[in-house]
């Protein structure tokens, strides 16, 4: 149900137990394309379907195609991006003791750069790259500067980027904490996500309250949403939290 912003602002003003759950739409205002909008990464034409490219099996079979795609479509826009007003507002809400956790499907790290401390990255982070063969960790710097496919400097193994790929499980510790925060939240803000990628989307179902707020450019099909504000997440968050 679409509602008035003043009603949602009142809910946010009154709560000190808010949890945020976000997706790629949270970073489009920072210039990073999302996946499924008309100008999203998955709507462009490639030789292979992008969801196939970003899978673990494809990565192992065609690391060169995978790396070209990852660097051009995912890493380059992330490296050029700055946190937007939405990321900044969430960090301020955490500092004020209102927001308990930011749960995100994004790997870009913009929440941390805006000052958020308790961030759960369900789909990994561009910082945590590691060798598939010997497990050595590699910084974003090592990874981003290399041309083409990136191999380990110790054993020549293929380096797995920090993102969780299709066909891989999510980190069980992060999943557990996510379930805890969501199930204990008084207010759950969901923003910038199509809510169709599992298992992430289903985690929202752990919410037990009646103040589930969706901030999104488009409506998503989830029956648990109590308040829907249609618009840009960053702009809406700026209007919803003004106590700074
Ligand atoms: P999607 O691209 O599927 O959905 C983004 C949603 O954000 C859409 O509903 C847009 O309408 C909305 N949107 C875009 N810009 C917005 C803005 N400024 N404010 C509010 N809403 C906006 O992205 P995700 O749901 O995050 O996973 O996708 C989930 C996962 O699919 C990603 O984490 C990624 C991808 O495959 C992996 O790579 C494992
Ligand atoms: Zn190695």
Peptide bond preceding 77: is omega within 30 degrees of 0, i.e. cis?
A: no
Mutate to test the pocket of ligand 1, among 41, 160, 191, 217 (most ligand atoms within 8 A of CB): 217
Q: Residue 195 is part of a domain; what is its CATH number?
A: 3.40.50.1220
Q: Is residue 143 part of a domain?
A: no
Residue 227 covered by a domain: yes
pLDDT bucket at 221, cuts 50 / 70 / 90? confident
CA distances from 34 to 39, 50, 72, 75 (A): 8, 13, 14, 13
Q: So what's the pLDDT on residue 46?
A: 79
26, 87 contact by CB (below 8 A): yes
Residue 197 domain-assigned (yes or no): yes
pLDDT of residue 2: 66
Work out how many domains the chain is built from and give that number: 1
Q: Distance between CA 170 and CA 168 in Å, rounded?
A: 7
For ligand 1, whether the C-beta of 28 sits within 6 Å is yes
Domain membership flag for residue 149: no
The per-residue pLDDT for range 19-36, each reduced to its tens digit, is 999 999 999 999 999 999
Whole-angstrom distance, CA of residue 196 vs CA of residue 222: 10
DSSP string covering 208-227:
-SS-EEEEESS----TT--E
Please give the pLDDT value at position 197.
Answer: 92
162 CB within 6 A, ligand 1: no
Answer yes or no: is 182 within a domain: yes
Give residue 128's pLDDT.
93
- Residue 39 has a CB neighbour count (10 Å cut-off) of 9
Tell me the pLDDT band of 47, cut-offs 50, 70 and 90: confident
**Does 178 reside within a domain?**
yes
Locus of tokens 């960090």: 91
Residue nearest to atom 6 of ligand 1 (CA): 193
Cα 81 from Cα 134, distance rounded (Å): 32
Question: In this predicted structure, which of 18-22, 143-147, 166-170, 189-193 has the lowest mean pLDDT?
Answer: 143-147
pLDDT confidence bin for 143, thresholds 50/70/90 = confident
The pLDDT value given to residue 243:
83
Domain presence at residue 160: no
User: Taking 70 as the threshold, does the pLDDT of residue 141 lie above it?
Assistant: yes
Ordered DSSP codes for 109-120: -HHHHHT--SEE
What's the pLDDT score for residue 146? 83
* Chain CA centroid to CA 168, Å: 17
Residue 173 neighbours by CB under 8 Å, 6+ apart:
none
Domain that holds residue 102: 2-32+84-125+169-240
Q: How confident is the model at residue 42 (pLDDT cuts 50, 70, 90)?
A: confident
Pocket test for ligand 1, best of 20, 21, 25 (most atoms within 8 A of CB): 25
Asked if the model's pLDDT at residue 65 lies above 90, the reply is yes
Rounded Cα–Cα distance for residues 79 and 75 (Å): 6
On whether residue 17 sits in a domain, the answer given is yes
1 pLDDT band, cuts 50/70/90, is low
- Residue 113 CA: distances (Å) to CA of 29, 90, 110, 118: 15, 12, 5, 12
d(C-alpha 24, C-alpha 22), whole Å: 7
Query: What is the band of 45 on the pLDDT scale with cuts at 50, 70, 90?
Result: confident
């Amino acid at each position: 149900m679409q509602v008035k912003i003043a009603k949602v602002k009142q809910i946010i003003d009154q709560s000190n137990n808010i949890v945020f759950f976000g997706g790629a739409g949270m970073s489009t205002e920072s210039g990073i394309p999302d996946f499924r909008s008309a100008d999203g990464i998955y709507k462009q034409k490639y030789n292979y379907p992008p969801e196939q490219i970003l899978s673990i099996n494809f990565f192992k079979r065609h690391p060169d195609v995978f790396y070209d795609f990852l660097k051009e479509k995912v890493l380059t826009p992330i490296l050029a991006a700055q946190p937007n007003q939405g990321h900044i507002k969430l960090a301020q809400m955490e500092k004020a003791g209102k927001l308990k956790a930011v749960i995100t499907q994004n790997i870009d790290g913009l929440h941390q750069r805006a000052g958020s401390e308790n961030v759960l990255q369900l789909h990994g982070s561009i910082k945590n790259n590691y060798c598939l063969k010997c497990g050595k960790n590699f910084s974003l710097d090592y990874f981003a500067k290399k041309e083409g496919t990136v191999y380990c400097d110790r054993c020549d193994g293929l380096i797995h980027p920090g993102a969780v790929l299709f066909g891989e499980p999510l980190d069980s510790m992060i999943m557990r904490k996510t379930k805890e925060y969501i199930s204990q939240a008084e207010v759950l803000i969901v923003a910038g996500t199509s809510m169709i990628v599992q298992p992430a989307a289903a985690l929202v179902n752990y919410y037990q309250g009646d103040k589930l707020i969706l901030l999104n450019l488009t409506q998503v099909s989830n029956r648990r949403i109590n308040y829907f504000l249609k618009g840009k997440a960053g702009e809406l968050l700026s209007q919803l939290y003004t106590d700074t």
